[in-house]
Amino acid sequence: MKRSENPLVSVVMITYNSGRYVLETLESIKAQTWQNIELIISDDCSIDNTVEICSEWIKENKNRFAAAKLITVPQNTGIPANCNRGLSAMQGEWLKTISGDDILLSNCIADNLEYVRNYPDASFIVSDVQEIDENGYSIREKVINEGVNFITGFPSAEKQLKAYVRWPAFLNVPTFFCKKEVIERIGYCDEDFRIYEDTTMVIRAMGMGVKFNYMEKPTVAYRIHRESISRNVKIDDRREKEAFGIFKKYRKKYLNISNPLDLSVYYETWLRFKYRGIHGVRGDFLLRKLSLFYWYMKFNGVKSY
Note the pTM of the prediction, 2 decimals: 0.93
* Same domain as 173, residue 29: yes
Q: Is 182 contained in some domain?
A: yes
Give me the mean pLDDT over the 38-51 stretch.
98
| pLDDT value of position 12 | 98
Quote the DSSP letter at residue 250. I
Strands (DSSP E) found in 56-187: 67-71, 94-99, 103-104, 124-132, 138-140, 177-179
Q: Is 243 contained in some domain?
A: no
CB atoms within 10 A of CB 233: 8
Q: Is 239 contained in some domain?
A: no
> Which domain CATH number covers 32?
3.90.550.10
Length of the chain in terms of residues written = 305
Cβ-Cβ contacts under 8 Å for 93 (sequence gap 6 or more): 3, 4, 7, 8, 9, 179, 180
What rounded mean pLDDT belongs to the chain? 95
Q: Is 304 contained in some domain?
A: no
Domain enclosing residue 285, as ranges: 255-299
* Same domain as 127, residue 276: no
- Give the model confidence (pLDDT) of 58-115 as tens digits: 999 999 999 999 999 999 999 999 999 999 999 999 999 999 999 999 999 999 999 9
Q: Is 250 contained in some domain?
A: no
Instruction: Extract long-range pairs of 148-155: CB within 8 Å, 24+ residues apart.
Output: 148/172, 148/214, 149/214, 150/297, 150/300, 150/302, 151/212, 152/126, 152/212, 152/213, 152/214, 153/214
* Same domain as 261, residue 229: no
Give me the mean pLDDT over the 216-241 stretch.
83
Q: Is 44 contained in some domain?
A: yes
* Same domain as 276, residue 181: no
* Same domain as 198, residue 82: yes
List the one residue out of 294, 114, 136, 119 whose CA is nearest residue 217.
114
Q: Is 238 contained in some domain?
A: no
* Same domain as 274, residue 159: no
Q: Is 196 contained in some domain?
A: yes
* Same domain as 273, residue 191: no
List the one residue out of 141, 139, 164, 140 whose CA is nearest residue 151.
164
* Same domain as 155, residue 39: yes
* Same domain as 187, residue 289: no
- Give the model confidence (pLDDT) of 190-221 as tens digits: 999 999 999 999 999 999 999 999 999 999 99
* Same domain as 152, residue 28: yes
List the one residue out of 32, 24, 39, 103 whose CA is nearest residue 71.
39
Give me the mean pLDDT over the 106-134 stretch.
97
* Same domain as 189, residue 65: yes
* Same domain as 217, residue 112: yes
User: How many domains does one find in the chain?
Assistant: 2
User: In the predicted model, is pLDDT for residue 251 greater than 50?
Assistant: yes
Quote the DSSP letter at residue 259. S
Strands (DSSP E) found in the chain: 9-15, 37-43, 67-71, 94-99, 103-104, 124-132, 138-140, 177-179, 213-223
